[in-house]
Amino acid sequence: MPRETKKQRFERMHAEYEVLREIIPEPECALDFETPFQLLVATVLSAQTTDVRVNSVTPTLFKDYGTPDKLAAANPERIEDIIHPVGFYRAKADHIITLSGQIMRDFDGVVPKTMEELTTLAGVGRKTANVVLGNAFGIPGFPVDTHVIRLTGRLRWRSDWRSTHPDPVKIEKEITDYFEPDEWTNLSHRLILFGRSTCHARRPECADCPLNDTCPSAGMFG
């Protein structure tokens, strides 16, 4: 593929994103939740596991521990037992109990609405904070997970696409510079959903991909 100018890359990115908008018209968060606190907890639990698995344990968890005050006072062994299927259950139980206590102590029992405050909570990094901001509060956020890293690399939407150790924070900054803030949350959703359905990690479905005419990596994984 000939070397692109920054303008050409910008135009290609937006053309490809228009295709994603057409095939994924109404993207939604894959985690089940009713409150910002529940989304925060579910997102912390989703690290290194699937959303389906998280959704399988949260109904039981939230039935008795769906608010910060109740989870902060929970017996750790009981929480570990409930969330055991999601993996790393001891560390995750510690995180969600601790962050619940922090919310009660530092934020009067209310989940904060800023990146700076959210990332003071146990087990909460920028990705988790962006999920909560965008999906619970409608505040622009661009979560960068493994799917987003993979797709922005294969599509060469980012300048460091050759990197074997890409920096999620740099990816967030670069990609969001190309899109309006009100599109950030859905942009992340669409990349994630497309990564799950088509642009798989090991065997992407390039032959049937609607982006194969413009994707710089099309056909390289067969």
Q: What is the mean pLDDT of each run of 10 residues along the chain (222 residues)?
A: 85 98 96 98 96 97 98 98 98 98 98 98 98 98 96 96 95 98 98 96 94 92 66
Q: What is the pLDDT of residue 222?
A: 57
How many other C-beta atoms are found inside a 10 Å radius of the C-beta of residue 24? 17
- Output the CA–CA distances (angstroms, integers) from residue 111 to 35, 76, 117, 144, in the order listed: 10, 21, 9, 21
CATH architecture classification, 6-27+143-208: Orthogonal Bundle (1.10)
Active-site positions read 127, 145
Q: What is the pLDDT of residue 45?
A: 98
Q: 1-16 burial, b if ≥16 CB within 10 A, otherwise e?
A: eeeeeeeebeebbeeb
The dihedrals phi and psi of 74, each to the nearest 5 degrees, come to: -75, 155
* Joined tokens for residue 173: 């900054």
Q: What is the pLDDT of residue 172?
A: 98
Range(s) within the chain of domains with CATH label 1.10.340.30: 36-136
- How far is 62 from 82, CA to CA, in rounded Å? 10
Range(s) within the chain of domains with CATH label 1.10.1670.10: 6-27+143-208
- How far is 40 from 24, CA to CA, in rounded Å? 25
What does the angle CA 42 – CA 126 – CA 121 come to, to the nearest 5 degrees? 65
* Joined tokens for residue 14: 């937006």
The CATH T-level fold of domain 36-136 is Endonuclease III; domain 1 (1.10.340)
- How far is 46 from 48, CA to CA, in rounded Å? 6
What does the angle CA 118 – CA 100 – CA 70 come to, to the nearest 5 degrees? 150
- How far is 12 from 25, CA to CA, in rounded Å? 19
